[in-house]
Amino acid sequence: MKALLVPVGSRGDVQPQLLLGAELMRRGHAVTIAAPPDFAEAAGQRGFRFIPIGDSIMELLVNNSGMTERHPLVALPGQIALLRRNTERSVRDLFAAEHDADVVVSAGLSLGGKMLADKLGVPHVFCCYSLSAMHSAEHAPAVMPVFGLPKLVNRALWGTFTQLFELGLGGVLNNLRRQVGLKAYRGSWLAIHGSEVILAQDEVIGKLPGDVPGSNVQVPAIVASAEQARPLPDLLERFLRGAGDGPAGASPVVYLGFGSMPSVDRGRVVQMACELFEQHGARVVLFLPGAPPESELPPGVFAIGDTDHAALFPRVDLIVHHGGAGTTATALRAGVPQLVVPHIVDQFFHGRRMAELGVGPAPIPKAKLDAAAIATALKARFGYWAKAQTVRTSVVAAGGAARAATHLEQLAAAAGRA
């Protein structure tokens, strides 16, 4: 089988597709990844053919970081406008390449995968990472994170969202479809996201509702297993063991990091980490992408870049993160208490679910996060630890790549493509 995976977005959108691609390749299938140019190296390291599409996602995030500072309902029109500007180039880049695929998988903000699958006459699957993004009256859309509403109101919010999507992107998508000889969509969002879907999220977070349109299957979150985890750097290992830190070696360890979120005030986060060590007696593994901090860090704060969460998270006492689907799933598999600081979209849903599951306190708004709030959660961690360990045993440690790959094989076989 020849699989074309088309994830568009940040690392949280692309990483699961790299894992899915690795599983498909392990089974003897050919894999092509079409994604933002930021991920060319990661795809090449795994031996995939790579097609760069659209602009650099990190540049888009940094240049539009202000959107994550607004309330999600206020930010939605701007997010759709930004997606509109990047969609046309992504689709053109995708169609400019040669393709011989038997199945196409889209993920994240990918809007061209379905179009290409229709042109090739092959099955298309949208891989969704959050239950909150599934069209259902059981919850509001992920981009409108309001909770506990009646089903009637949720249906109205979904109607509003799909109408906004159609107004903002429907015309662009249908013009592109006509240019490649395809009929226009009748409802763009549902055509792409509501026909054939893999929901890759652990059932402990929520089961697939019965009113979701289209043909759907739920698999565990597509994350790396402990066996797939890359070894931690030697200096980080020494820090976690407390080597050379004297009394600090016995203090608890906090992971503090917000993934690809661009609006985080680096100086403020660095200051939080320093205060956690100097005033609250905790050591901190601090995720700082890009350049190192300008000021020297105290011995109880260790700055890291891209590091394997599957290897790191089981080694800490509290995980403070943004609530991305992949980070949340990996934290659940570590069995460690979590404090979620949501920034955008589905992160609010995940933060709420972690608190409902009892694996951490209620999520904290970014504006209210400080060292004292993290220290309070750290002191309370033993109240969440037992539940975190129980939830850990309820999820599939190996993740859902194998089940997703099997589903793709079945779809391709049913279509006579494998």
* Cα–Cα dist 42/224, whole Å: 15
Q: Provide, rounded to the nearest whole percent, the portion of the chain with pLDDT above 90.
A: 77
* Cα–Cα dist 209/352, whole Å: 18
Tokens 């079409």 found at: 34
Which strands sit side by side in the sheet containing 318-321, from one edge to the other?
A: 301-304, 283-287, 253-256, 318-321, 338-340
Per-residue tokens: 315 = 């080694």
Confidence of residue 266 (pLDDT cuts 50, 70, 90): confident
Least confident of 59-73, 189-203, 349-363: 59-73
Q: Output the pLDDT for position 71.
A: 57
Tokens 């690795």 found at: 22
Q: What angle do CA 21, 218, 10 make, to 5 degrees?
A: 50
Whether the predicted pLDDT of 155 surpasses 80: yes
Q: Is 257 helix (H, G, I), strand (E, B) or coil?
A: coil
Q: What angle do CA 46, 50, 53 make, to 5 degrees?
A: 140
Residues 331, 389 contacting (CB under 8 angstroms): no
More confident residue, 359 or 74: 359
Q: Output the pLDDT for position 196.
A: 95
Tokens 């016995």 found at: 250
Residues 143, 68 contacting (CB under 8 angstroms): no
Q: Output the pLDDT for position 395.
A: 96
Whether the predicted pLDDT of 270 surpasses 80: yes
Count of C-beta atoms within a 10 Å radius of residue 376: 14
Condensed to tens digits (0 to 9), the pLDDT of residues 117-127 reads 999 999 999 99
User: Beta strands of 249-345 (E only): which ranges?
Assistant: 253-256, 283-287, 301-304, 318-321, 338-340
* Cα–Cα dist 146/312, whole Å: 32
Question: Nearest-CA neighbor of 360 among 326, 368, 342?
Answer: 342
Condensed to tens digits (0 to 9), the pLDDT of residues 340-363 reads 999 888 999 999 999 999 999 999
Confidence of residue 64 (pLDDT cuts 50, 70, 90): low
Condensed to tens digits (0 to 9), the pLDDT of residues 216-232 reads 999 999 998 877 888 99
Confidence of residue 207 (pLDDT cuts 50, 70, 90): very high
Q: Output the pLDDT for position 63.
A: 64
Which strands sit side by side in the sheet containing 196-200, from one edge to the other?
A: 49-52, 30-35, 2-8, 103-108, 124-128, 196-200, 215-219
* Cα–Cα dist 349/211, whole Å: 19
Radius of gyration in angstroms for the set of CA atoms belonging to the chain, rounded to a whole number: 21
